[in-house]
Amino acid sequence: MKITAVEAIWLRVPPLDQPCAWGEDALVVRVHTDAGLVGIGESDSAPSVIKALIDAPVTHSTCKGLRHVLLGENPLEIERLWKKMYRESEYVGRRGAGIHAISAIDIALWDIAGQHYGVPIHTLLGGKYRDRVRAYGTFSARPTEDANRTVVARLLAQGLRSVKLGGGTFGHDPAYDMKVLRAVRAEIGDDIELSIDLLGRWRNAPHALTQCEALREFNLSWVEEPLPSDDLAGLALLGKHADVRISGGEGLATRHEFRSFLEETRPAIVQPDITRCGGISEMRHVYELARHYGAQLVPHGFSTGILLAATMHFLAACEHGDLIEYSQSDSPLFRGLVKNLLPLAGNHVPVPDAPGLGVVLDEALLERYRVRL
Ligand SMILES: [Mg+2]
């Protein structure tokens, strides 16, 4: 079997000159083969940038567009192809967007392999430990207490028993944060897990430590990205002294960044995004590192049903992969791009058992939101 084409498809709901929210754009990859099998992947990054990294012509031996690295290759040789892509895009890649692009292709290669062997990806990864994974829902803070109560009530009505609040107006003003958390905790009661995501907004470690202490009464399940992820010393200090679990890592790529992050900051929870960290292949290394450093792996995930399916296959095959983020986006790219989107059943997501990734794309929707410059 040979790779015959690599498509990088940029999707976007609002027009290019309008603001775009989380989940309203996406970069989908399709890898075609001479056997007729087509693998699907995605990267949750800047779609135009990832598209350029895949489509670019060859500049020299370490600056190749990924399509050129792959054409004519056997898609089943995933590990060798991952290393080839990494080396041959090294000057523009190695971290960040270059790895985001590899992530999308890696997922598509696993999809092809699963279809070829007639088994779900979690079987190729060594076998599933469970048939469903518990989910949590993320919502961004609204300006008023009532609006926050309404939105969190909607999450609980879906059956979720774990929620996370972050982004929007949250994390800038301690007095406001306190008011929002008080309203949310009152709405959900004491038995629902509540976490917060700061997106690195707290100004430094002493400030973050004071905040963690001030928020103790809310019995938070974890505090996510309290400081920017490059503030390793600050995060280490916080991890050691805060009386709450600290998490982070959704922006990191490759085992190398995760090793530094885990070793130097010792987070309780690490949150790689499978469409950014290096795909399914690299996430396996991150999982083993997390185990080594005693951290729980709870993946980040807030894009299309392709990301959701890839994350589910991965978690199903992890001994301790028992919590997944379930997007609360109303974007058609989440709700409709994958026709057989994995549902939220109560507070769990069922593990898919179809061969490969098992996703079926809505071609009409894909064409409707496709950006063609
Ligand atoms: Mg986050």
111: tokens are: 């999809």
User: Ligand 1 centroid to 327 CA: how many Å?
Assistant: 12
Tell how far the Cα of 170 is from the centroid of ligand 1, in angstroms.
Answer: 12
Q: What is the pLDDT of residues 162-186, one digit of tens each?
A: 999 998 889 999 999 999 999 999 9
Do 115 and 136 belong to one domain? Answer: no
- 139, 104: one domain: no
The per-residue pLDDT for 178 is 96
Q: Tell me how far the alpha carbon of residue 108 lies from the centroid of ligand 1, in angstroms.
A: 25
- 212 assigned to some structural domain: yes
pLDDT digits (tens, 9 = 90+) for 62-107: 999 999 999 999 999 999 999 999 999 999 999 999 999 999 999 9
Q: How far is the CA of 272 from the centre of ligand 1 (A)?
A: 10
Alpha carbon of 351 to ligand 1 centroid (Å): 23
Are 53 and 105 part of one and the same domain? yes
Element (H, E) at 235: helix 232-241
Same domain, 152 and 44: no
Domain span at residue 108 reads 3-119+364-369
Residue 6 pLDDT level (bands cut at 50, 70, 90): very high
- Per the prediction, the chain carries an average pLDDT of 97
How far is ligand 1, taken at its centre, from the CA of residue 82, in Å?
Answer: 27
In a domain, 144, yes or no: yes
Alpha carbon of 103 to ligand 1 centroid (Å) = 19
Indicate the SS3 state at residue 5.
strand
Among the listed residues 248, 162, 178, the one whose alpha carbon sits nearest the alpha carbon of residue 213: 178
Q: CATH number for the domain including 104?
A: 3.30.390.10
Separation CA 7–CA 25 (nearest Å) = 16
Pairing, β 38-43 against β 223-224? unpaired
For residue 39, the tally of other CB atoms under 10 A from its CB is 26
Please count the helices (runs of H) and the strands (runs of E) in the chain: 14, 12
CA of 162 to the centre of ligand 1 (A): 15
Residues 141 and 95 in one domain: no
Pair 274, 354 in one domain: yes
Residues 225 and 258 in one domain: yes
Q: What is the mean pLDDT of residues 366-371?
A: 98
356 phi, psi to nearest 5 deg? 70, -145
225 within a domain of the structure (yes/no):
yes
d(C-alpha 299, C-alpha 315), whole Å:
9
User: Are the CB atoms for 248 and 264 separated by under 8 Å?
Assistant: no
Whether residue 151 is predicted with pLDDT greater than 90 in this model: the reply is: yes
Distance 224 CA to ligand 1 centre (A): 6
> What pLDDT sits at residue 123?
99
Q: Are 363 and 6 in contact (CB under 8 A)?
A: no
Residue 218 Cα, ligand 1 centroid: separation in angstroms? Answer: 19
94 C-alpha to ligand 1 centroid (Å): 23
237: in domain: yes
Domain count, the chain: 2
Q: Is residue 334 part of a domain?
A: yes
Nearest to 25 by CA among 49, 40, 45, 8: 45
CA of 65 to the centre of ligand 1 (A): 30
Angstrom CA distances, 295 to 198, 255, 262, 358, 373, stand at 19, 14, 8, 30, 44
As a whole number of angstroms, the distance between CA 273 and CA 344 comes to 19
* 22 Cα to the center of ligand 1, angstroms: 12
Asked whether residue 126 is domain-assigned, the answer is no
Distance 273 CA to ligand 1 centre (A): 10
**How far does residue 163's CA lie from ligand 1's centre (Å)?**
12
The CATH number of whichever domain residue 302 belongs to comes to 3.20.20.120
* Ligand 1 centroid, distance to 197 Cα (angstroms): 5
Q: In this structure, are 314 and 182 located in the same domain? A: yes
pLDDT tier, 253 (very low <50, low <70, confident <90, very high otherwise):
very high
pLDDT in tens, 305-362: 999 999 999 999 999 999 999 999 999 999 999 999 999 998 999 999 999 999 999 9
Q: Do 35 and 167 reside in the same domain of the chain?
A: no
* C-alpha of residue 230 to centroid of ligand 1, in Å: 15
Measured in angstroms, how far is the CA atom of residue 212 from the centroid of ligand 1? 17
Tell me, in angstroms, the distance from the centre of ligand 1 to residue 247's CA.
9
Flag whether 344 is in a domain: yes
Amino acid 373: pLDDT: 87
Do 245 and 349 fall into the same domain? yes
What is the distance in A from the centroid of ligand 1 to the CA of 140?
11
Q: Give residue-wise pLDDT tens across range 227-236.
A: 999 999 999 9
- The predicted model gives 14-28 an average pLDDT of 96
- In one letter, which amino acid is 325? E
Query: How many CA atoms lie less than 13 Å away from 242 in the CB half-sphere?
Result: 33
> Does 139 share its domain with 222?
yes
Interatomic CA distance for residues 298 and 267, integer angstroms: 12
What is the whole-number distance in angstroms between the Cα of residue 174 and the centre of ligand 1? 19
The verdict on residue 73 lying in a domain is: yes
Estimate the crossing angle of helix 78-88 against helix 96-117, to 10 degrees. Answer: 160
Percent of the residues in the chain that have a pLDDT greater than 70, as a whole number = 100
Do 85 and 141 belong to one domain?
no
